[in-house]
Amino acid sequence: MKISTKGRYALRMLIELGCHAGDSYVSLKEISESQNISKKYLEQIVPLLTKSGILRTTRGNHGGYMLAKPASEITVADVLRATEGSLAPVSCLEQPVNDCPRADICPTLELWKGLMRTVEDYLERYSVQDLVDRKLNLGGDDYSI
């Protein structure tokens, strides 16, 4: 599994918003400048995060973006599912019901299920708040995500 820039930039955007938690809405321009991410690219990510209930938006003079719930309640897995889709390592595990005609005789199915569980469990352990705390402890901008 390879995480695209969409997933990585979504995390950076949410970390930035997490640093402003409780403040007013933050404009996309501010996020773009702070994180050195194209505003146009962020505009593609916003609907995915809004639809999944991670981001709250408002229009107008003081409009912008903020987290829809506390950063501690948003897991990295939530963000990646919203931006990347399924975290499944193989296509036959992307749906809740595996309809592969070879599922009953597949010698690798349990391997892929185990990998998926491991990845999901790992990503569920980390919240956006954990990443906000890491950024604050580093004392600056961390663009390595």
Structural domain of 72: 5-85+127-138
Determine the pLDDT at residue 22: 72
- The letter for the amino acid at 1 is M
Determine the pLDDT at residue 141: 54
* Residue 121 in domain: no
> Based on the structure, what is the number of domains in the chain?
1
Determine the pLDDT at residue 143: 47
* Residue 37 in domain: yes
Determine the pLDDT at residue 13: 97
* Residue 144 in domain: no
Q: Per-block average pLDDT, block size 10, for the chain (145 residues)? A: 93 94 86 95 97 93 90 97 94 90 93 96 97 86 50
132 closest CA partner among 64, 74, 54: 74
* Residue 29 in domain: yes
Identify the CATH number of the domain in which residue 62 sits. 1.10.10.10
Distance of CA 111 to the CA centre of its chain: 25
Determine the pLDDT at residue 138: 84
Determine the pLDDT at residue 140: 61
Contact assessment for residue 96 and residue 116, using Cβ atoms and an 8 Å cutoff: no
Distance of CA 142 to the CA centre of its chain: 16
